[in-house]
Amino acid sequence: MVAPTDQDLISFVVHEARLIDQHRFEEWLDLFSDDGHYWMPLEWGQTDQRLTTSLMYEDKLLLRIRVERLKGNRTFSQKPKSRCHHVLQVPQIDKRDEAANEYVTWTPMHYVETRLDEQDLYAAWATHTLAMVDGKLKIKLKRVDLVNCDAALRSIQLFM
């Protein structure tokens, strides 16, 4: 198995954000491994997702439910649809473990979600745990730590 270069990891993270911004959600879902998860903690420095409440902790089934819902004819909270926009810092490679097939990147970002006249700005850090699966990089875990994870938040309907 050919190990990804640092540039492969960086390009992957940047591409992933682009797919969300362009609403290419089917392609985006394909970036997750079958056992992949998307996690958005509720608490600062949260370490547990099973017995501590999170904003999101979703496997592929739950992510696909969201993606299907966004398309739904009777999804009134998406009529009109939300739009979003990522600004990423260059992803930093925190870990390269070729033997264990585990690669971790850390990406500070700003994320804007808008709908109608409302526009909300969020600041967050995305931590991607990636692995090579059948010759392609896949997301094992995307963890999004909001800077204001414990604030009173408006609805977040898309993906950071």
Partner 1 sequence: MGQYQGNAAAVRELVRETEVHRDVYVDQEIFDLEMEHLFANTWIYVGHDSQVPNAGDYFGTSIGKQPVLMVRHTDGEVYVLYNRCPHKGTRITIDTCGNAGKFFRCPYHAWSFKTDGSLLAIPLRKGYEHTGLEGSEAAKGIPRVRHVRNYRGFVFAKMSDAGLGFEDYFGESLSSIDNLVDRSPVGRLEVAGAPLRHMFNCNWKMLVENLTDTCHPMVAHESSAGTAVEVWKQMFPGANTKPPAVEIFAPFISPYEAYEKMGIRVWRNGHGHTGVHHSIHSDYSSVPGYFDKMVAAYGEARAKAILDENRHNTAYFPNFTVKGPIQAIRQFKPIAPNRTLAESWTFRLVDAPDQLLERTVTYSRLINAPTSVVAHDDLEMYERAQEGLLVDANPWVNIQRLYDPTEAGQDTAVVNGTSEWQMRNQFRAWSKFMTMSL
Residues that bind partner 1 (CB under 8 A): 40, 42-43, 50-57, 61-62, 64-66, 68-69, 72, 74-78, 150-157
Minimum distance, C-beta of residue 103 to partner 1, in the bound complex (Å): 26
Q: Which is nearer to partner 1, 41 or 91 (CB)?
A: 41
Residue that the structure tokens 């999004």 belong to: 144
Minimum distance, C-beta of residue 4 to partner 1, in the bound complex (Å): 28
Q: Which is nearer to partner 1, 80 or 135 (CB)?
A: 80
Report which residue type is found at 3.
A
- The residue among 59, 145, 130, 63 whose CA lies nearest residue 97 is 130
C-beta separation of 98 from 89 below 8 A: no
Q: Is the peptide bond before 91 cis (omega within 30 degrees of 0)?
A: no
C-beta separation of 8 from 135 below 8 A: no
Q: Which is nearer to partner 1, 12 or 37 (CB)?
A: 37
Q: Which is nearer to partner 1, 1 or 152 (CB)?
A: 152
CA distance 32 to 140: 6
Minimum distance, C-beta of residue 72 to partner 1, in the bound complex (Å): 5
Minimum distance, C-beta of residue 29 to partner 1, in the bound complex (Å): 11
Q: Which is nearer to partner 1, 74 or 134 (CB)?
A: 74
Give the SS3 label for residue 85: strand
CA distance 50 to 153: 22
Minimum distance, C-beta of residue 26 to partner 1, in the bound complex (Å): 13
